[in-house]
Every structure is written in C-alpha cells, then in structure tokens.
Chain A
Amino acid sequence: MALAKITEVRGRAVHVPGDDIDTDRIIPARYMKCITFDGLGEFLFYDVRKNDDGSPTKHPLNDPRHAGATILISGANFGCGSSREHAPQAIYRYGFRGLIADSYAEIFFGNCTTLGIPCFSVERADREMLAAAIEADPDLEVIMDVEKFEVRFGDRTIKAAVRESARRGLVTGQWDPIAELLEDAPLTAKVASSLAYV
C-alpha cells in the first residue's frame, strides 16, 4: 500500500484554546451512529459551535477569518476520553491536516498518526505565542516540519516534540502499518501457536 511521505504540513492555523478537550466535545456521540466515516467533518465541535436555536457561538471555528485553516492548535491532553476514531476522522474531514498542542491523549495520538495527521507537542508558552501571532494575522502561514520537529511562522521557529515512531512513519510513508502487518502471517502464526489460549 503506497502512502504519501508526510514531511510537512503548511497552511493557516486556528487556535481552539482549552485543556482536556475531549472526544465527546470533538464529535458528539449521536453523530457516531454511522457505518462509514463520510460526512463527519460537518459535526466537528458541533455542540460548542451551535447555540440551542442553531445560531453560531463565538467558537474559533465559526470565525470566518480562520475559514480554510488546515492546522488546529490546542492545549494539554487534547483528544482525551474515548478511543473513537470518529474524532480524528471528523478533524481530518473538516479539513485539518496537522495538530499542534501542549500534549495529547494516548489513543487519540495513535489514531491521528494512523490517518497521517502529524501531532506536534509544544511548550505551553510557545503555543500561546503562536496563538497570539495567528490572532494578530489569521492569514499567517504556519509550517509544521516533520523531519526537523519544528514549527515555523513569520520569522519565528519553535521546537516541537513528535514521538519518534510517529515521525518515522510519517516521513517514510508508512504511517498506516497495515502493509507491514500483513507481511509475515507465518511469524504471527508461530506466536499464536505458542499461546495456550489462542
């Protein structure tokens, strides 16, 4: 399975502030009653973007200045809660291609990586500086450099951390492991037969 090598994500960014933004907030569970992932982008952050009467709230994703942004920025423990892949799928199908946050929940991070979405971790102070720069200039181009682990915007560069296994998968085009997992059925069978319960 030939996948694109993902060495950078380049585009405008939008800051969704807050720590512990969970998967129920990212996509309300009632929108997970589906058999495919098609159309999930429409429901991203649905309940915090719409008032009871359907009118838009002041959520950053409702701000027209950020329409078309491809990089999402947030706080600590982003994506906590459920293992539902519907959350990164909604993020991807909405149009985002990269995430920059203080930190991520474990399962969410893995799900994003498998979809080819780089998730960079940055220091809180750096994240706040980046957010301020975007607030001042929503059209600012932000570059996530997956090979060098850094984020460049304007004339600034901030250091990012990316788990090495994720980084390697992204830059080599093997961020979806299925091809490799399928390669060695006999070796898998050997492990299976060594397990009394299998």
Chain B
Amino acid sequence: MGKTLFQKVWDAHAVRELSNGQTQLFIGTHLIHEVTSPQAFGMLRDLNLKVAYPHRTFATVDHIVPTDEFAEPYRDPLAQAMMDELRKNCAEFGITFFDRSTGKQGIVHIVGPELGITQPGTTIACGDSHTSTHGAFGAIAFGIGTTQIRDLLATQTMAMGPLKVRRIQVDGKLLPGVYSKDVILHIIRKLGVNGGTGFAYEYAGEVFDGFTMEERMTVCNMSIEGGARAGYVNPDETTFTYLKGRSYAPKGADWDKAVERWRGFASDADASYDDIVMIRGEDIAPTVTWGINPGQGISIDENVPTVESARGTEKASIAEALEYMKLEPGAPIKGTPINVAFMGSCTNGRYSDFVEVAKYLKGRKVASNVKAIAVPGSQGVGAILKQKGIDQVFRDAGFEWREAGCSMCLAMNPDKLIGDQLCASSSNRNFKGRQGSPTGRTILMSPLMVAAAAIEGRVSDAREVFGIRELATA
C-alpha cells in the first residue's frame, strides 16, 4: 500500500511517541513574526533556554507595519514596541530577520516561498493559521499557538497528532474569469468551515496540475478556513522550476539531489485516503462570500440566502449573518454597493495577482466614492511590480499603492474599515469586525472581482465589467 505525501513527510520527521500518544514532530522550518512570538521568547527566557536551531528559524514583520510609512517610531507605540521586541529577540538568539531595511520583508507566507525557504518534503510551522499556504510546495505546513512557538524555539519539535488526509480532486478546466481564489471559496462552501477539521487537504487533479505555484498557494492558504489545518499539492516540475535559483534553494549538485528527493515525497499512485472528493472545474463560478464566515459563499449570479430557505440547524447562523451584513435576504449579491476595495494579503498579494488585474485595469477608473488600496505582499513583490510599471497601472486607475504588509486583512495596523463600511476584499476572512471596525463588513472574492467592484462601486461580475467571454466550444 502506497503512502500519501503527508504520511511520507510525517514519518521522516517523527522523533518519538510521547506519553499522551501524540508524536514529537521535528519542524524543519520555523517561521516567526512579531505578533505571536514575543510571549514565546519570554517563556524561553523564563526557562533559561537558548534557541536550539537558530539557523532553521526565519523572521519577518508583517501584521503591524503601517503600509503608508517607513519612518520610525511608528505613530502607534504598541506597534513600535512589537517591532523593537522582535528585533531584540532575533539579535539575542541569532535568528535571521527580514526587516524592512533588508528589502526582503513582507507577509511571512509570501516571503518564505519567494526566497526558496519553503521546500517540498519539509515540515513548516508558524504562529499564524495561514501557514497552510506553504503546503503548495508539498510540505506539511500549519499554524501553531504561542506556547508551541516556545516548544519550537527550545527544541525544534512539538507535540502533535497526525491528520487524516482528504484528497480533493478538481478535474476539467476552469472557465474564463474563474480563478484559484474561486476554487478554494467553492471548496469551503461545499465542504463547510469545519468540514476539514482533523484533516490535511491534498489538492489534486487536472486543474491543480495546471496551476502555477502562486495559484496553488492561494488555495492552500485558505485550507484553514475550511477547517483543515494543513493543505498541500504534490510537488512536480512546476514546483522545481519555481524554486530553481532562489536564495535558499539548493545549488549545483545539491540541486539535482534535492529534486530527486522531492519527487519521492509525492503521494504514491496507490496511496489510500481517508476521504476523496471529486469536483469539476467547469462547475466553479466566480464566488463571493455574503456572510460572516468564509463558508457562506455564493456564485456572483446567485441571491443572498433567506432564513426561510435554510436548513433547521443553519437558520440561526444565517439570521445572524444577514443581520450583521445588512444585506437584503433573497436579493442578488450582484449590485451590492461597496465603500472600500482591498487588493493584497497572504491569499492574493503575489506578483501574478497584480499582473492579472493590471491587464484589465488599464484605462479604467475606481469609482469616485470607493477607497481602493493595493498592497504588494512583500518588498520583493513590490520591487518587481514597480520595475514592470504595474504599480503605476494601479495608481492611474485610482488605487493607493502601499508598502508591503498584512494591511487591511486584519485590524492590527492603521488600515481599517470605519463604521459599517463594506469592503470588497482579496483576503481570507470575513468574520465580524475582522477588518478593524466592530460593525465593518467584508465580502471575499478574487483579485479581479475586487477590481471590478472598485470600478463599478458595487459587487459586480468581473466577466461583464471586463468583457471576459466564455470561449465558444467547437
């Protein structure tokens, strides 16, 4: 019986069984950022310990950085304190810190892959649930709490039980105007926000075979929104081509050996899965959320649900979401006026996300009553977009172009909603208050759909706004 990638990588990193039955798992790559690490370093000091494997620990700052200024001290003294604390901790314990002065800073889940730190067959952990992103490379990557960060700093290991594996196979083709963001929103809609609890999701099939690494990362990123702590794509030539030549990728003879090793981690053809779900790419439409969790999604052509049409167990949740979002039950989601448009985040803040939108943005303008911001996910992404003049395309259209950081995805930096503003967002969570105002409202969608909404001032079908037609079949 063959093994899944999950089983192969798990077995390679298992140290021993612990007294409670869990596994002591070696985590080969530990990524840290300023929000969840300070208390862990404090705990480390309390235990009078040093960092066990500093060369396998990498830090950046992303959640609290103001995207409109570099100058320190930041206006927010709490943000400055967290910045100072991370610098102090990295210096004291000998940890590489991609600070803003290095040109390599950015959202941690964008920095790891673009520097080649994220590799197949590895275990990767970070105090951030979107760590699942790195699974796109065929790694077991997942979010952890601060106390587990302490465990990794002290021992490079942590206690964990293995996950089951659900294979989600998406075959066929995506229709024009349908993107990787729609694929994951569709999956979460179908399987539920807790459908993946206890599972790692293996994404496979023709659609994933054809995806770029950035598209794979968008999907893996939101695995946790479906309850799956980890999500991955088996490594293949696309993976190796992406990694070749990146700073932390193996070089020379080591490169060839690494590729052979990486190939071996892919799930065997006769691997057995705890569950298999089959989806046709053609069945996926541009999808937007209407409610207060990422699973409350509908296609752009559908209507906002009503309480009456909901199943008994869901009526209360639907009523709560309708009340908070102030949407008219039963009305089309298309046409909902928006106040803010946010392009960025660890889900969709990569080079290809901006390039794709820029194609259609030329000559168009953001509606006069919409505040639109575009935030490259890392300094690296920002630099290459600037080199290609893509930043100017966004500025010309009326987007504010910002410095790299988590920005408006969550309320830890100055980019926040005000009052009950409604934001068309390329991020990953639409929970109550997520974007900084206790009454602020979020609608998740793909980057091109964000651009369409920004231009029209309303939730729109990007295919209509930009003239993307279904190709006639022969």
**A interface residues, Cβ below 8 angstroms from B:** 17-20, 22, 24-25, 28-30, 32-37, 47-48, 50, 52, 76-77, 80-86, 88, 103-107, 110-111, 114-115, 124, 163-166, 168-169, 172, 174, 176-178, 180-182, 184-185, 187-188, 191-192, 194-198
Interface residues of B, count at CB 8 A = 83
With a CB–CB cut-off of 8 A, which chain A residues contact B19?
168, 172, 174, 180
A35 in contact with B12 (CB, 8 Å): no
How far apart are the CA atoms of A43 and B293 in the complex, in Å? 21
- A20-B317, A80-B227 known; A114 vs B412 contact (CB < 8 Å): no
Contact B26 A188 (CB under 8 A): yes
Residues of B within 8 A of A25 (CB): 431-433
Question: Within the assembled complex, what's the spacing in Å between the Cα atoms of A172 and B19?
Answer: 9
Task: Report how far A18 CA is from B128 CA in the complex, Å.
Answer: 24
Query: In the assembly, what is the distance between CA of A169 and CA of B159, in Å?
Result: 11
Nearest to B321 among chain A residues (CB) is A20
Tell whether B468 is near chain A: CB-to-CB under 8 Å. no
Contact A47 to B438, CB < 8 A, known contacts A33-B76, A174-B20: yes
Contact of A28 among B121, B131, B411, B429 (CB under 8 A): B411
Q: Are A182 and B154 in contact (CB under 8 A)?
A: yes
A83-B36, A85-B146, A111-B145 given; A47·B433 CB < 8 A? yes
Query: Are the CB atoms of A33 and B20 closer together than 8 Å?
Result: no
Of the candidates B18, B36, B250, the one whose C-beta lies within 8 Å of that of A177 is: B18
In the complex, A37 Cα to B198 Cα: how many Å?
A: 28
- Chain A residues with Cβ under 8 A from B298's Cβ? none
Q: Say yes or no: is B410 at the interface (Cβ < 8 Å to chain A).
A: yes
CA distance A187 to B14 in the complex (A): 10
Which one of A84, A166, A169, A177 contacts B145 once the chains associate, using CB atoms below 8 Å?
A84
- B residues within 8 Å of A by Cβ? 12-16, 18-22, 24, 26, 28-29, 35-36, 38-39, 42, 47, 49, 52-53, 56, 64, 76, 78-79, 81-82, 85, 119, 121-122, 127-129, 131, 142-148, 150-151, 154-161, 193-194, 197-198, 224, 227, 229, 250, 257-258, 261, 293, 295, 313, 316-317, 320, 410-412, 429, 431-434, 436, 438-439
Beyond A29-B434, A32-B412, A107-B143, 13 extra complex contacts between A and B, CB < 8 Å: A20-B193, A24-B432, A25-B433, A28-B438, A47-B433, A85-B146, A111-B148, A177-B22, A178-B155, A187-B16, A195-B26, A195-B28, A197-B121
Contact of B129 among A34, A83, A166 (CB under 8 A): A83
**Cβ-neighbour of B20 out of A30, A81, A169 (below 8 A):** A169
> With A32-B412, A36-B38, A83-B145 known to touch, is A192 a contact of B159 (CB < 8 Å)?
no
Contacts of B14 in A (CB 8 A): 191
Inside 8 A of A188's CB, which chain B residues have their CB? 15, 24, 26, 52, 155-157
